[in-house]
């Protein structure tokens, strides 16, 4: 899953949800940096500390995620303890089992809430600017592209620069699949207890749209931070659409926007939502919202975008 694009003669960048890989031919030297993952642990202490620790892995495509809570269950009784205590523990009473089930649901709701927060706050990720003295000059477009490839790879972002035009760079970003959005919604009952209900399709589509928009903004921010001389960034968000009738790969465009350094200066990333920021700061923005989510753009009236997608998919004449 993903796409590859030639950024220079003999140099091809492969972008997948797990990271970025650069291939240099004909020598075959490869430089890759796959996206790491953050281990999320639910539970305090190991078995000897009175609890059993459970863990799950959440991709860092949306930024780091750390959730901690108390132990999921009592520690198992040791053999020595059974000898001293005169045998196995008595079964927990019904009230105790109900309380344990309620605590488990509360922890699961907490984990889902943290996962949703990470999905919808990609645009708030910290981006450290590179000092101008250490950044490549715009007079060397190949160096600019190389610096951005490395920056995206180090950050584990599924993005790749495809061209530099004066003070502007164009970057293609691979959208996360809709399956990254949880199929349940955490909440509270009228009595204040944790609840988990099935997520409506429209709600899931909206969360996915927010995640995609947030990643597009983060991609633009990272480009501007990596190359301080850049004045603007174009971000084209794509997803795979399967092969065409001839078996060739196809890409669909979910979003295309242009953001200038001046427009993003002073944005309150910690307060505003990704959709609000994107709409109010983009000098150009193409997006099609349908049933609460992002629908593929009709590029029949956008020949430049259509040609770019063909190039990225390897469908153009020079591949």
For the chain, domain boundaries:
38-117, 125-312
Asked whether the beta carbons of 228 and 130 are under 8 A apart, the reply is: yes
Mean pLDDT of 155-171: 95
Q: How confident is the model at residue 32 (pLDDT cuts 50, 70, 90)?
A: very low
pLDDT of residue 222: 97
Window from 65-69, 152-156, 211-215 with minimum mean pLDDT? 65-69
Q: How confident is the model at residue 95 (pLDDT cuts 50, 70, 90)?
A: confident
Q: What is the mean pLDDT of the chain?
A: 77
Q: Counting runs of H as helices and runs of E as strands, what totals does the chain give?
A: 7, 14
Q: How confident is the model at residue 8 (pLDDT cuts 50, 70, 90)?
A: low
* pLDDT higher than 70, residue 257: yes
pLDDT of residue 270: 92
Mean pLDDT of 284-312: 93
pLDDT of residue 70: 34
Report the C-alpha gap between 160 and 151 in whole angstroms. 10
pLDDT of residue 87: 52
pLDDT of residue 161: 95
pLDDT of residue 71: 36
Higher pLDDT, 230 or 199: 230
Report the C-alpha gap between 306 and 63 in whole angstroms. 30
Return all residues near 243 (Cβ < 8 A) that are at least 6 apart: 249, 250
Report the C-alpha gap between 18 and 264 in whole angstroms. 28
Question: 261: helix, coil or strand?
Answer: helix
pLDDT of residue 92: 57
* Whether the model pTM is above 0.85: no
Alpha helices (runs of H) in the chain, residue ranges in sequence order: 79-85, 94-119, 141-155, 201-226, 261-264, 274-281, 303-312
pLDDT of residue 80: 47
Tokens representing residue 5 in the block: 């694009």
Q: How confident is the model at residue 157 (pLDDT cuts 50, 70, 90)?
A: very high
Q: Facing residues of 232 across strands?
A: 168, 260
């Amino acid at each position: 899953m993903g796409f590859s694009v030639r950024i220079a003669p003999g140099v091809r960048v492969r972008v997948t949800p797990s990271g970025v890989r650069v291939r240099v031919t004909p020598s075959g030297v490869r430089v890759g940096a796959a996206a790491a993952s953050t281990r999320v642990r639910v539970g305090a202490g190991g078995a000897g500390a009175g609890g059993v620790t459970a863990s799950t892995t959440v991709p860092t495509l949306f930024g780091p995620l750390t959730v901690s809570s108390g132990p999921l269950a009592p520690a198992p009784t040791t053999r020595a303890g059974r000898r001293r205590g005169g045998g196995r523990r008595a079964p927990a009473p019904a009230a105790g089992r109900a309380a344990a089930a309620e605590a488990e649901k509360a922890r699961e709701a907490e984990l889902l809430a943290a996962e949703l927060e990470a999905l919808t706050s990609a645009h708030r990720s910290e981006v450290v600017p590179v000092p101008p003295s250490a950044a490549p000059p715009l007079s060397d477009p190949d160096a600019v592209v190389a610096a951005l490839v490395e920056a995206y790879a180090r950050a584990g972002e599924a993005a790749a620069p495809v061209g530099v035009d004066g003070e502007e760079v164009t970057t293609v970003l691979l959208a996360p699949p809709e399956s990254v959005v949880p199929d349940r919604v955490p909440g509270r009952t009228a009595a204040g207890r944790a609840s988990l209900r099935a997520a409506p399709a429209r709600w899931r589509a909206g969360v996915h749209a927010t995640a995609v928009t947030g990643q597009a903004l983060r991609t633009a921010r990272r480009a501007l931070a990596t190359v301080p001389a850049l004045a603007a960034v174009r971000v084209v968000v794509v997803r795979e659409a399967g092969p065409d009738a001839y078996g060739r790969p196809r890409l669909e465009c979910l979003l295309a926007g242009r953001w200038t350094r001046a427009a993003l200066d002073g944005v309150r990333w910690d307060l505003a939502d990704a959709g609000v920021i994107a709409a109010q700061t983009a000098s150009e923005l193409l997006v099609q919202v349908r049933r609460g989510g992002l629908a593929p753009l009709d590029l029949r009236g956008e020949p430049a975008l259509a040609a770019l997608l063909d190039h990225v998919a390897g469908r153009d004449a020079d591949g």
